[in-house]
Structure 1
Amino acid sequence: MPDPDTRDLPAFAAALADRLPGSWTSEYHQHEEYDDQFPTAAQVWDMNLVSGAIAQYVLRHHAVLTHEDGTRLYLIDRPGHPGEHLAGALAPPDIDPEAFRGVREPDGIAVSTDVDMAAEDVHFDLLPRYATALAKVQHNAAHPPAPPGAPAPEPETIVMTWYGDGLLAAKATSQEAAKALRENGFTYDPAEHAFVLPGDDTAHQARCVRNAGQQLDAHGIGVTLRHPPKQP
C-alpha cells in the first residue's frame, strides 16, 4: 500500500498524530463556506503565522489533533507554500480570559509536509512553548489579582522593642510569627502581652534575633526594631 500523500492536509494530520509522542487523535474539518473557518480559528493561540493566515486567506479546511491530556493542535495548509503546513496550538478552554493577560502566545510554526520532520519540530519547538504558556495561564487562573478598588492586604510586621535593661519584647499577630519567636528563644510574658528575650547574654540575644528574623522573613513577615519612647 503506497504511503499517503502528506501534502494533503487530512493525510498529513493523521500521520502526524501517529508520529507525535503520546496518544493523539485527528479530526478533519472541511469548510463549506468562508465563515466555517472561524469557530475553531477563534481559539488559535497565536499572534504570528497561523493567525495571519486565518485573517488573510480563505481556508478550505483545517484539522485538529487532540492529545489525551487535552492539548489541542490546529493544522492548516500554508497559503502560497505547497510544501508546508502550519501548526499552532489552540488555547485551553474554560479559563478566565484575564488569566491570559501578560502571557506570550506560543506562536505556531511552519512545518514540512515530511511528517517525520514536522513531528520533530512540533515536539521540540511548539509543544514546549505551549507547555510554558499553559503553566503561566494556569498559575494566573489559580491566583487572580485582587478586584479593582480592593485594598491590598498589609504585610505582617513584627515590632521588636528594646528596653533599658536589655530586654527585647515582640508582639506576634499570627501563629507563624509566634512559632518563629518561640523557636528562637523568646518566651511569652502574660504581664507584657508579648514574647520577651532577656539581654543577659547580648551575643546569644543577637543570634536569636537574627535567626528569628530569617524564619519570619521566610513566611513573608517583616521585622522592625525600635527603642521605647522616652519618658517625659
Structure 2
Amino acid sequence: MTNPGKEQPLDASTTYGPLSQFSQQVASRLGAGWSATSRRSPYATGPRGWDPAEKRSWDREDGVLWRALRHAEDGERAVLTHPHGYQLYLMERPGRPRQVLVAGVLPAGINSYGVTEGPAAISVPRDSVRAAAVMRHRRFLWHYRVAAARVSRETRFGEVNSVVFGRDLDGTPLINVLSQHAARLLLQHGSPWLLDPESGLCRLRGPAGDSENLVRSAATLLRAYGYAITLTSAHPWKYAFRPPTKPVPPPAPVLPPGRTAGPTR
C-alpha cells in the first residue's frame, strides 16, 4: 500500500486544477458536513497583500504556515467549514506545486487562543484521496478538535448558552455563537448563514435584503432550544465573553471602639 503522505515522481507535464476544485473534493472525502469555499488571492484583498483569514490560523506565528506566508506569491486560498464551528485554511505551498498546506482555524466565536497549543499545520499531497487520508492518519483532525475544545473551555466559561446578535460596521447582521450545538443549528445544510473565517462570526450568505426576518427566525430557533439571546446594534465583539471574576469575601466584622472580644459562649 502506498504511503498517502509520500509524493510520487512528478511528470514535467503534470498540471493541477484550481485549489477551489481540490478543496471541494477533499471536503467530500472528510465526511458529512464539511464544505469548501474559495477565497480571492490575498494580493487582491488589500494593499498589504495578506488574507484577513490568516490571522485566525493557529500556526500563523510559527511553523510551516508562518514560513509559507512569508514567501507566498499571488495564489488561491480555500477554507473548509464544518457545521460545529470548525474551519481549516488551505493554501498552495510556495515552490512545491504538488503540496497544499492545511492549517487549523480558531473555532466559531473565538478570536484569541491564549496558551492553548493548537495543531501544527501539515502539508498534504495535491490529490484529494491521499490528502484526506493524510489528515486522518496523522490524526490532524483529532488534534484540531481537541485543541478547539480546550480553547473553548478557556474562553467560553458559563456563557456557552449565550448568543449575541449584533451589527457589522455596514449594518449587516452578525452572530457570535459559542456553542457547537447552536452553531450546528445556524449552519445546517441550506441555511442562509455562514461562518466567516475572517472574524469567527456568522453572517448572511447573500444580500441582506430580508435580514430582519432572518435574524428573527434565527433568534426564535435558538431561543426555542434554551439559548439566551442578546439583540444589539453594536458589533458582537463588544460583548466579548470574559472569565467570571472570583467573588470577593465579605470583610471581617469590626468591633465598635472601646469593646474587646470576650469569650465565646
Shorter-chain TM-score above 0.5: yes
Give runs of ≥4 in structure 1 deviating > 6 Å.
150-153
Structure 2 equivalent of residue 140 of structure 1: 154
- How far off its partner does 1:16 sit? 0.5
Structure 1 equivalent of residue 106 of structure 2: 91
2:147 alignment partner AA: A
- How far off its partner does 1:6 sit? 5.0
Report percent identity of matched pairs. 27
1:78 aligns with 2:93: yes
1:16 aligns with 2:30: no
Compute the TM-score of the two structures, normalised by the length of structure 1: 0.55
Match of 1:28 among 38, 43, 49: 38
**Equivalences for residues 175-194 of structure 1 within 5 A:** none
Match of 1:115 among 108, 116, 128: 128
> Which digits, 9 at most, give the CA deviation of each residue in 1:63-90, with x for residues without a partner?
0111122211111101111111111111
Give the structure, 1 or 2, with the largest relative contact order (CA under 8 Å, sep 6 or more): 2
SS in 1 for 2:53: helix
- How far off its partner does 1:152 sit? 8.5
- How far off its partner does 1:60 sit? 1.6
1:137 alignment partner AA: V
C-alpha RMSD of matched pairs (Å): 2.8
Across the two proteins, how many residue pairs are aligned to each other? 147
SS in 2 for 1:42: helix
Once residues 108 and 85 of structure 2 are traced to their aligned partners in structure 1, the CA distance between those partners, rounded to angstroms, is 10
> Which digits, 9 at most, give the CA deviation of each residue in 1:147-196, with x for residues without a partner?
6xx7888xxxxxxxxxxxxxxxxxxxxxxxxxxxxxxxxxxxxxx99xxx
Once residues 78 and 29 of structure 2 are traced to their aligned partners in structure 1, the CA distance between those partners, rounded to angstroms, is 16
Q: Structure 2 unaligned segments of length 5 or more: list them.
A: 1-14, 158-241, 250-263
> Which digits, 9 at most, give the CA deviation of each residue in 1:61-119, with x for residues without a partner?
2001111222111111011111111111111242363xx22211211100001211100
2:123 alignment partner AA: A
Larger radius of gyration: 1
